[in-house]
Amino acid sequence: MGKDCKEGFMKEYTKELKKEYLKDYDADATEKIVGEIGGFDTTPKPWSVYLVRCQNNALYCGITNNIEERIKKHNSGKGSKSCRAHGLPVKLEWTCLEGSKSDALKFEAKIKKLNKKQKEQLIKGELSFTIFK
């Protein structure tokens, strides 16, 4: 199948999926529900980089735009495989507000390159994270 053929197929397939998905859509009911709950919060949520300590003392680094929910997810066993393997519950040790998801991902990658001793220093405030920026 050539590129144009694939694109044409995908456009038609997407149209069919939308029709199927929207066949039971009730715009009036949706507007009523949105009105009752006060609309949708479209405020961008800032992203954070965090370090949690697992039960075997291993440190896990991740990013999130809702730290409380992310910790709950880890502790429910639905977070990372790494945290489950190293023992639950996890304890939040360190967090840094980054702003954009892109910035948080870049900073997370730099932290993951640190050794355990350097991560411990970062948690204690003995290692400035600004040197990684």
Domain range enclosing 11: 3-37
Q: Could you tell me if 53 and 74 lie in one domain?
A: yes
Residue 91 covered by a domain: yes
Residue 122 covered by a domain: yes
Query: Is this prediction's pTM over 0.75?
Result: no
> At 67, which amino acid appears?
I
Q: Could you tell me if 33 and 98 lie in one domain?
A: no
In sequence order, the 6+-apart residues with CB closer than 8 A to the CB of 97 are: 46, 47, 48
Residue 55 covered by a domain: yes
Q: Could you tell me if 56 and 18 lie in one domain?
A: no
Q: Per-residue DSSP letters for 1-68?
A: --HHHHHHHHHHHHHHHHHHHHTT--HHHHHHHHHHHT----PPPPEEEEEEE-TTS-EEEEEES-HH
Q: Could you tell me if 92 and 67 lie in one domain?
A: yes
Q: Could you tell me if 20 and 58 lie in one domain?
A: no
First to last CA, the chain: 45
pLDDT of residue 45: 83
Q: Could you tell me if 19 and 51 lie in one domain?
A: no
pLDDT tens digits, one per residue of 56-87: 999 999 999 999 999 999 999 999 999 999 99
20 pLDDT above the threshold of 50: yes
Cβ-contact 111, 122 below 8 angstroms: yes
Q: Could you tell me if 102 and 123 lie in one domain?
A: yes
Q: 46: cis peptide before it, omega within 30°?
A: no
User: Into how many domains does the chain fold?
Assistant: 2
Query: Highest mean pLDDT range out of 31-35, 44-48, 88-92?
Result: 88-92
